[in-house]
Amino acid sequence: MTIEVATSVAGKKEMLTRTLKQSGHVGFDSLPDQLVNKSVQNGFVFNVMCIGETGLGKSTLMDSLFNTSFESTPSPHTLPNVKLKANTYELKESNVQLKLTICDTVGFGDQINKENSFKAVVDYIDTQFEAYLQEELKIKRSLVDYHDSRIHACLYFICPTGHGLKSLDLVCMKQLDSKVNIIPIIAKADTISKTELQRFKAKILQELKENNVNIYHFPVDDETVAETNALMNDHTPFAVVGSREFVKIGNKLVRARQYPWGTVQVENELHCDFVKLREMLIRTNMEDLREQTHQTHYALYRQKRLSEMGFCDVDNDNKPVSFQQIFEIKRAHHLSELQAKEDEVRQMFVQRVKEKEAELKESERELHSRFEKLKKEHAEEKRKLEEARQKLDEEYLEFTTHKTNYVASHHTMTLGKKSKK
């Protein structure tokens, strides 16, 4: 047993490791069993993405791999863009539960302009990483119940042309190689002859190498599977055949494709690499694929996102800084920025108020002068009217005097005439 003890020697912390012998059985050798029990209880999650042109046999191969019939409708070749469709299934084998998600790239390679074919795929993978990151960053997170939708394995279906990879394949795989475990496979391998196949495989590997595309290599560091995995690495890309039909061979029903000249058995290693793929993908390396996804691809995404948010592990002098320190620096920076913005807004406001005030004063002055002018005009008018009235009064008075005089003189004249009679 090894115990690590931290001791303080001359003010410095040093780690000493002492090996102790126990006097009896303690029981922590059951830890692996505890782990297995817990994992079996929780069940497993595995997410596969199938990338490949419509009609290359993606859905058929998934049915063949998991020996079931996932519902799927053949997609047309007329879709305007690539859509990602994920379906989740609960499978059970013995007492092990597997939550399997199959993600299909509907319409991949069907557009005339294939420039953006990979974009939807990259976005989908990033979205799943982002969802996991957000869950991880929550204060109250529940990663145990969380349905992890990150893609663990990406089966890239290569068209069996015999000529090598298409540019779409290379571009797409290059975009994805740092985000997901890519397992290239040659689809519909029954359409390609034995000698052509070897040349085709070599050509594909050479093209991938020339373009620095990193595909998933089965791990060789675990000695229990190192030998098989190394051997299988030499067989990649696997040339596979899928089928939904069963044929009776001897007294066994087997998955096969029947042709006028013979029968291709899906699970016959002499006919194709289907068994190798199933062995490597499901039986031997599923856990490694899940681990690589978390430790390599997701870690890279997380690192990129956190550094985009301004977090880092060391400062400019290469000294370690904690999350809290960075948070506090960022907070102080943010607050000072906020203060500066507030001051700027306030100054702008004061300036605007001043301008408005000056405008108002100007219009008040204008109004005042207009009022004065009107007042003057009004007074002048009034004066003129007064004069006219006065003149009218005088004329009236004169008229009345004339009238009285006239009436009086007329009356005297009339009286004089009467006295004559």
Ligand X SMILES: Nc1nc2c(ncn2[C@@H]2O[C@H](COP(=O)(O)OP(=O)(O)O)[C@@H](O)[C@H]2O)c(=O)[nH]1
Contact residues for Mg ion, defined by CB under 5 A: 59
Q: Which residue lies nearer to Mg ion by CB, 62 or 208?
A: 62
Q: CB 188 → ligand X: shortest distance, Å?
A: 4
Q: Any idea how long the chain is?
A: 421
Q: How far is the CB of 202 from ligand X (least distance, A)?
A: 21
Q: Which does 228 bind (CB under 5 to 8 A by kind): ligand X, Mg ion, none?
A: none
Q: Give the nearest distance from C-beta 73 to Mg ion in angstroms.
A: 8
Q: Which is nearer to ligand X, 81 or 296 (CB)?
A: 81
Q: What is the 3-state secondary structure (H, E, C) of the chain?
A: CEEEEEEEECCEEEEEEEECCCCCCCCHHHHHHHHHHHHHHHCEEEEEEEECCCCCCHHHHHHHHCCCCCCCCCCCCCCCCCEEEEEEEEEEECCEEEEEEEEEEECCCCCCCCCCHHHHHHHHHHHHHHHHHHHHHCCCCCCCCCCCCCCCEEEEEECCCCCCCCHHHHHHHHHHCCCCCEEEEECCHHHCCHHHHHHHHHHHHHHHHHCCCCCCCCCCCCHHHHHHHHHHHCCCCEECCCCCCEEEECCEEEEEEEECCEEEECCCCCCCCHHHHHHHHHHHCHHHHHHHHHHHHHHHHHHHHHHHCCCCCECCCCCECCHHHHHHHHHHHHHHHHHHHHHHHHHHHHHHHHHHHHHHHHHHHHHHHHHHHHHHHHHHHHHHHHHHHHHHHHHHHHHHHHHHHHHHHHHHHHHHHHHHC
Residue 55 interface partner, choices Mg ion, ligand X, none, CB cut-off 5-8 Å depending on type: ligand X
CB of 265 to ligand X, least distance (A): 12
Q: Which does 56 bind (CB under 5 to 8 A by kind): ligand X, Mg ion, none?
A: ligand X
Q: Which does 190 bind (CB under 5 to 8 A by kind): ligand X, Mg ion, none?
A: ligand X
What is d(CA 148, CA 155) in angstroms, rounded to the nearest whole number? 19
Q: Which is nearer to Mg ion, 59 or 149 (CB)?
A: 59
Listed in sequence order, the residues at least 6 apart from 71 whose beta carbon sits closer than 8 Å to its beta carbon are 87
Q: How far is the CB of 114 from ligand X (least distance, A)?
A: 16
Nearer to Mg ion among residue 64 and residue 285 (C-beta): 64
Least distance from C-beta 243 to ligand X, angstroms? Answer: 6
Spatial contact of 2 and 18, defined as CB atoms under 8 Å apart: yes
| Residue 219 interaction partner, one of Mg ion, ligand X, none, beta carbon < 5-8 Å per kind | none
Q: Using the minimum distance from each CB to Mg ion, give the nearer residue, 54 or 236.
A: 54
Judged by beta carbon distances under 5 to 8 A according to partner kind, the member of ligand X, Mg ion, none in contact with residue 191 is: ligand X
> Quick one: 160 or 219, whose CB is closer to Mg ion?
160
d(CA 255, CA 245): 6
Which among ligand X, Mg ion, none contacts residue 160 (Cβ within 5 to 8 A by kind)? Answer: none
Instruction: Name the packing angle between helices 117-137 and 167-176 (round to 10°).
Output: 10
Q: Which does 57 bind (CB under 5 to 8 A by kind): ligand X, Mg ion, none?
A: ligand X
Closest approach of Mg ion to the CB of residue 154, in Å: 16
Which residue of this chain has its Cβ atom nearest to ligand X in the complex? 57
* Of residues 255 and 297, the one with the C-beta less far from Mg ion: 255
Select the binding partner of residue 188 from Mg ion, ligand X, none (C-beta < 5 to 8 A, by kind): ligand X
CA distance 184 to 160: 12
Nearest-approach distance from CB 106 to Mg ion, in angstroms: 7
Which of Mg ion, ligand X, none is residue 293 near (CB under 5 to 8 Å by kind)? none
User: Which residue number, 261 or 416, has a Cβ lying nearer to ligand X?
Assistant: 261
Q: C-beta of 333: minimal distance to ligand X in Å?
A: 51
Q: How far is the CB of 266 from ligand X (least distance, A)?
A: 8
> Which residue, 56 or 84, is less far from ligand X as judged by CB?
56
- The residue number with the shortest CB distance to Mg ion is 59
Q: Is 267 exposed, middle or buried (0-12, 13-18, 19+ CB in 10 A)?
A: middle
Select 192 or 225, whichever has its Cβ closest to ligand X: 192
Task: List interacting residues with ligand X (CB under 6 A).
Answer: 52, 54-60, 74, 188, 190-191, 241-242, 257
